[in-house]
Amino acid sequence: MSGFKRYMLLLFLGAFAAGSQAQDKQPVDYADPLLGTSESRWMLNPGATMPFGMVQLSPDNQGNVWKSGYEYTLNNVGGFSHIHSWTMSGLSIMPTVGALNTRMGPADGPTTGWTTGYRSRVDKSSEKASPGYYAVTLLNGNIHTELTATTRAGFFRFTYPEATETNIVIDLEFFAENTPEVLDAKIIKVSDREIEGYSKQKWSWNEYTVHFVIRFNKPFKSFGGWNGNNIMKDVTSVTGKKDVGGYAHFETEKGEVILMQTGISLVSTEQARLNLETEMNPFNWDFDQVRNNARNVWNKLLGKITVEGGTEENKKKFYTNFYRSYVARTTWSDVNGKYVDVCERVQQAGPNTPVYGCDAFWNTFWNLNQLWTLANPDLAASWVRSLLEVYKHGGWLPKGPAGIEYSGIMEASHEIALITSAYQKGIRDFDVETAFKAMVHQQTEPGKEHECGGYAGNRFFASYLELGYVPDEEGQVSNTLEYAFDDWCVAQMAKALGKKKEYEVFIKRAGNYKNVFDKETKYIRTKKRDGSWVQDWTPFCCTSFSGPGYLEGNAWQYSFFNPHDVQGILNLMGEDEFNNRLNDGFVKSSRFNFNADGDHYDQVPINHGNQPNMQAAYLFNYSGKPWLTQNWVREIMNKYYGSTPLHGWLGDEDEGQMGAWFVMSAMGLFQTEGGTSVKPFYEIGSPLFEKVTIHLDDKYYTGKTFTIEARNTSDANRYIQSAKLDGKALNKPWFYHKDLVDGGSLVLEMGASPNEKWGSRPEDAPPSMSAPVKK
């Protein structure tokens, strides 16, 4: 065989092997927990967790900074902690060698020596992460540390290459994104294999107790701890507040492995032990079985959507974003359904009612709601039942039940949109009448400081009910738009339930956005209580978090914020102004990758790095230019989203919201109204893959699968030339949810040039409150 032929054969065999390897990969193999972990939030880390896991076991390496937790570019680890939920943290574990050190040490200091703490440098080449698993070698002691988890329990495997003395440190006070104060803590030696304890903690309004049980597969030689500078050796318990911790002392032989399992609970130590024994005992101390179990759970979830064709990079982005949509929110009920309610009382949830915690549902109707109700309607139903469980004992729906508390974070009550969307899509295994009652209460009673702590309901709502808008003297004018959307959701739920009286009340209020639209400037304007416009104003001014103006946005962005009535804004703004302003905003924002930072905020109208205008690219479907939707959706997926630890999501990937947007958009689907209409529908974008198969849950949806084919799709061929839905020509850029869940297919012919005739007639626009009723 000639050298050239041999070379070509090797090339062929290599390509064949690579292709076979790619075909063998499962969805879980594409998900990379390290992606985007530089500049990531506390809740989005590379650690080991299950979907909505109570235990989110992950390395922490930063100090007391915003976005504290794990930073990919830092070459050290200060500990592996169990809770990475919004405003919450707890129970950090760190294996060390040599003399006992009770200080973690600074993130930016040396990582050797007594004065700098027990923090260790790491071998970055040893760092591995996959859904449900994390591993790294700590250079201080050369300890290979591996983590895996069940929903409520953690599993550590420490491998010691040399014979040594080791202390496994249990630290209860350490830096987090929102570092709590330890009010009271106790750590107890139960036996020479088991430790238990609790840490009562508080951050702002959020007070909670982390109960824990720790067990080892071999006896430790001694137990000790510290309270501040007071170090105690060979004791049976340690108590105190603030700087409190303990340690288990071992002597290891060369190559020895120490296994450690942990269980936590917000209810009691007994419940933590129940969680640990129920979830870990079936695996009989087999670390790899627990790891494989986590992998299988994740693979089953991610396998609800399969993709074919497209690049390996886009598959990595797709499944990692899919994974991120389920990791940052938290289960707070125990294996037997016990949990601590908003008034710190122990309650018993009913069957199939996990109680969840998160920061907020602010604008999740543009991302998480859509994905959950489509791919995992069972989990969407669980979320609705969880919300109603909190309402049952606290009297209000929670907008962000962090630690099962009324947080008051963000504005409006967009959990209403999730409940409405679930019902409209046939996900109805919850108490519908109670849900409607709770929604009406939320939208008719002014919010208040809750008697058990935190803030329940809507701020500035009395003025909204009185005036039809939020006046500048009190709060954000943008709340008017968000309250009006929630009114729309209640109206749609009332319509679906045949409640005509309630429908008429709330559908009228859904038009309140018009009260703050200035017809002269054609922008949503800040408005005083006397009805006059605020004069010191520009389209890019007045971003705020707690005062007057626009919540984390500006007038430019909020002037397009009208999920339920895009046609209404088109009517007020005018089609040409709408299209020209919106497209110009995309052109300007593209050079900044659609992410606004502090230095360029007024130069980036389309800020995909925050929630207020994540729907912007899809608005051209309503305004007669769907090819611009197809173009700009692709540009956001290309530029805003990355595939490396240093570039995953720009801005604030807030508990999976940016991730869920990518998953929906990569399939070519979106819902500007969040699926809340009586007849929900999907708008069409520009799919990344040649074929997407959605495996439908037969408990909720009658069709087995729905496929989306994008023939000839590529980065260049991003424009729809023609479409067929279930074999029939589709000449509009949207279709009904029922046509998807009945099973079937959407086939798109893609090309490099826009087809400006497809889907561009006025009658082709998606349904909208002010538009004629669609058939």
Q: How confident is the model at residue 109 (pLDDT cuts 50, 70, 90)?
A: low
Residue 20, pLDDT > 60, answer: no
pLDDT for 110 equals: 55
Q: How confident is the model at residue 22 (pLDDT cuts 50, 70, 90)?
A: low
pLDDT for 545 equals: 82
Residue 754: CA count within 13 A, CB half-sphere? 14
Could you give the CA distance from residue 383 to residue 245 in angstroms, rounded to a whole number? 35
Read off the pLDDT of each residue in 601-608 and give the average, rounded to a whole number: 88
Q: How confident is the model at residue 3 (pLDDT cuts 50, 70, 90)?
A: very low
Q: At what angle do helices 287-302 and 312-324 cross, to 10 degrees?
A: 100
Q: Helix, strand, coil % (nearest 5) of the chain?
A: 30, 25, 45
Smallest CA-to-CA distance from 443 within 509, 358, 350 is with 509
pLDDT for 734 equals: 98
Q: How confident is the model at residue 39 (pLDDT cuts 50, 70, 90)?
A: confident
Question: 101-110, 403-412, 516-525 — which is least confidently predicted?
Answer: 101-110
pLDDT for 23 equals: 61
Do 544 and 553 touch, CB atoms closer than 8 A?
no
User: Which two tokens mark 745?
Assistant: 């297919």
In the predicted model, what is the mean pLDDT of the chain? 94
Residue 761, pLDDT > 70, answer: yes
> What is the tens place of the pLDDT at every residue in 447-472?
999 999 999 999 999 999 999 999 99
> What is the tens place of the pLDDT at every residue in 58-97?
999 998 888 889 999 999 999 999 999 999 999 999 999 9
3-state secondary structure 541-574: CCEECCCCEEECCCHHHHCCCCCCCHHHHHHHHC
Alpha helices in 429-574 (DSSP H): 432-442, 461-467, 478-497, 500-509, 555-558, 566-573
Q: How confident is the model at residue 2 (pLDDT cuts 50, 70, 90)?
A: very low
pLDDT for 490 equals: 98
For 76, list phi and psi in degrees, rounded to 5: -155, 170
Read off the pLDDT of each residue in 519-529 and give the average, rounded to a whole number: 97
The per-residue DSSP string of 118-168 comes to S-EEEEEEEEEEETTEEEEEETTTTEEEEEEE-SSEEEEEEEESS-EEEEE
pLDDT for 754 equals: 98
For 193, list phi and psi in degrees, rounded to 5: -125, -5
How remote is the C-alpha of 391 from its chain's centroid? 22
pTM here is 0.95
Share of the chain above pLDDT 70, in %: 96
pLDDT for 24 equals: 86
Read off the pLDDT of each residue in 630-634 and give the average, rounded to a whole number: 98
Could you give the CA distance from residue 50 to residue 275 in angstroms, rounded to a whole number? 14
* Extended beta strands in 621-684, E state: 669-670, 681-684
pLDDT for 18 equals: 43
Q: How confident is the model at residue 15 (pLDDT cuts 50, 70, 90)?
A: very low
Question: 16-20, 173-177, 604-608 — which is least confidently predicted?
Answer: 16-20
Could you give the CA distance from residue 497 to residue 518 in angstroms, rounded to a whole number? 35
Share of the chain above pLDDT 90, in %: 88
Residue 113, pLDDT > 70, answer: no
> What is the tens place of the pLDDT at every residue in 710-734?
999 999 999 999 999 999 999 999 9
Could you give the CA distance from residue 604 to residue 589 in angstroms, rounded to a whole number? 5
Smallest CA-to-CA distance from 300 within 133, 56, 51 is with 51
Instruction: Compare 205 and 59 and report the one with higher pLDDT.
Output: 59
> What is the tens place of the pLDDT at every residue in 257-296?
999 999 999 999 999 999 999 999 999 999 999 999 999 9
> What is the tens place of the pLDDT at every residue in 549-587?
999 999 999 999 999 999 999 999 999 999 999 999 999
The pairing of beta strand 330-331 with beta strand 356-357: antiparallel
Instruction: List the domains of the chain with CATH numbers.
Output: 37-300 (2.70.98.10), 306-332+581-775 (3.30.2080.10)
Question: 290-304, 322-336, 595-609 — which is least confidently predicted?
Answer: 595-609
